[in-house]
Amino acid sequence: MGQARTIGALDTGPAIGVDIGGTKVLAVRLSPAGEVEAWAKLRTPVRAGDVIETVLVGVAQVTEGASERSSTLPLGVGFPGMLDRNGTAHFCPHLHSVDGMDLRQLLAEHRDPGASTVVLNDATAACWAEHSVGAAQGFDDVLMVTLGTGIGGGMVVDGRLLEGAHGFAGEIGHMVIDPHGPPCPCGKRGCWERFASGDGLGRLAREVALAGRLDCAVKAAGGDAEAVRGEHVTEAALDGRPEALAVMKEFAWWLALGLANLSNVLDPSIIVLGGGLIEAEQAVMEPLRDAFADLVEAPEARRIRVVPAQLGEKAGAVGAALLAAQRAG
C-alpha cells in the first residue's frame, strides 16, 4: 500500500477504483476531494474465476482502516477490453478468460444493494481521469491514446464521456491504416496498433536492425537483432544515437497518422498520450508534433495540443473511481 497523493480537487465523495491490466491490478481509494488516499498493486490472476476475488482483495487493501464500509462506497473497475453498457465483457484480448462474464453483476453480488458499481474499458476510464484531474483538465473535447502492447482509446466530447451505443467506443487501435500491412491478431491486416504501439515500435526496430542499421539497439539486445524490443530503441534514442532517432521518427510518423485520422473525425482540442512508451517523451513528442501538423486537415485553423498524460499508471483506477462516484447520485 502506497502513500497518499493529491491529484486534483473535486467534490465527488469518496470512491474506490480498480484497474485490471494484462499483468497487474491497481486499486485506489479516492478522498471526497478526488485525492488518492491509498493504493495497492496486485498480480492479475490467470483464471477467470479469480478476477472478481482479486478486485475484492484490492478493495479490502485500500479501505483498510477507512471509516466507511467498502461495500457501500462507489466502486469503478476498468478492464482491458470491450465491455458493453451493462458490464458484460465481450472481447478482452489480454484477459480472454473473462469474455462473456457479467462482471458488473458478479461484483454487485459482493456489495450492498444500491451501491454504485461501474465497469468499463480501462482506456475510457483513464481518459475520464485525465479530463477530470489530469493533463486535459479544463478541456471539453479530449482524445486519450494509451500506447502499450496495443493501443487503447478514450474520448470526451463536449464534456461528456463517449461510450458508444453498445459501450464499445474507442477501439482505435484496430483502425486499419494499411490493408497491405502486417497481420493483426484480430484477423485483419495493418491495424494502427501494428505500427504505433510498443509492439509496433519493436517490429519496426527489428526490421531496421535486421537490415544492419540499428547496431546500438542490437548490442543492447545481447547481439541478437531478432531480440530487439521497443525499449532498446527508445533508450538508444534518449542517448542521442542518430540511427535510433531515425527509427523514432518513423515510429512517430505512424503514430501521427492515426492521431490525424482521429482528429479529422473527432476534432478534439487536446490529445493525451499515455502508456509506458510516452515515458521516452523527448524522443517521441517532437517528431510526433511535426508529423501531426503535416497530416491533420487545416492545422492553421485550429489548435490541437498533443501532450503526455499526467496520472501515469493510476489513471485507469482513478477514472473508474470518479465515474462510479459521479454515477452514485
Residue bearing cell 546500438? 216
Please, what is the minimum distance in Å from the beta carbon of residue 168 to a second copy? 4
Give the three-state DSSP class for 234: helix
Q: Which of 175, 255, 309, 317 binds a second copy (CB under 8 A)?
A: 175
Helices 198-210 and 230-238, axial angle in degrees (round to 10)? 80
Please, what is the minimum distance in Å from the beta carbon of residue 154 to a second copy? 11
140 contributes a contact to a second copy by CB under 8 A? yes
C-beta of 5 vs 96, nearer to a second copy: 96
Please, what is the minimum distance in Å from the beta carbon of residue 58 to a second copy? 27
172 contributes a contact to a second copy by CB under 8 A? yes
Please, what is the minimum distance in Å from the beta carbon of residue 121 to a second copy? 11
Q: Which of 102, 235, 250, 267 binds a second copy (CB under 8 A)?
A: 267
92 contributes a contact to a second copy by CB under 8 A? no
Residue bearing cell 497518499? 4
DSSP sequence for 272-312: EEESGGGGGHHHHHHHHHHHHHHHSS-GGG---EEEE-SSG
174 contributes a contact to a second copy by CB under 8 A? yes
Q: Kindly indicate which of the ranges 63-71, 109-117, 172-180, 281-289 contains the residues binding a second copy, using the contact rule CB under 8 A.
A: 172-180
Q: Are 10 and 318 in contact (CB under 8 A)?
A: no
Bridge partner list, 225 = none
Q: Kindly indicate which of the ranges 14-22, 46-54, 179-187, 198-206 contains the residues binding a second copy, using the contact rule CB under 8 A.
A: 179-187
Please, what is the minimum distance in Å from the beta carbon of residue 283 to a second copy? 22
C-beta of 210 vs 265, nearer to a second copy: 265
CA distance 281 to 271: 14
Please, what is the minimum distance in Å from the beta carbon of residue 256 to a second copy? 10
Q: From start to end of the chain, where are the E strands?
A: 15-20, 24-30, 36-43, 75-79, 82-83, 89-91, 117-121, 142-147, 151-157, 160-161, 270-274, 305-308
Q: Kindly indicate which of the ranges 59-67, 136-144, 223-231, 281-289 contains the residues binding a second copy, using the contact rule CB under 8 A.
A: 136-144
177 contributes a contact to a second copy by CB under 8 A? yes
Closest CA to 303 of 139, 169, 147, 191: 139
CA angle 92, 95, 100 (to 5 degrees): 55
Please, what is the minimum distance in Å from the beta carbon of residue 327 to a second copy? 15
CA within 13 Å, CB half, 91 = 9
C-beta of 38 vs 204, nearer to a second copy: 204
Please, what is the minimum distance in Å from the beta carbon of residue 177 to a second copy? 6
Cell numbers of 134, please? 489530469
* Binding interface with a second copy (CB under 8 A): 82, 84, 90-91, 139-141, 153, 155, 157-158, 160, 162-172, 174-180, 186, 188, 257, 260-262, 264-269, 295, 297-298, 301-302, 304
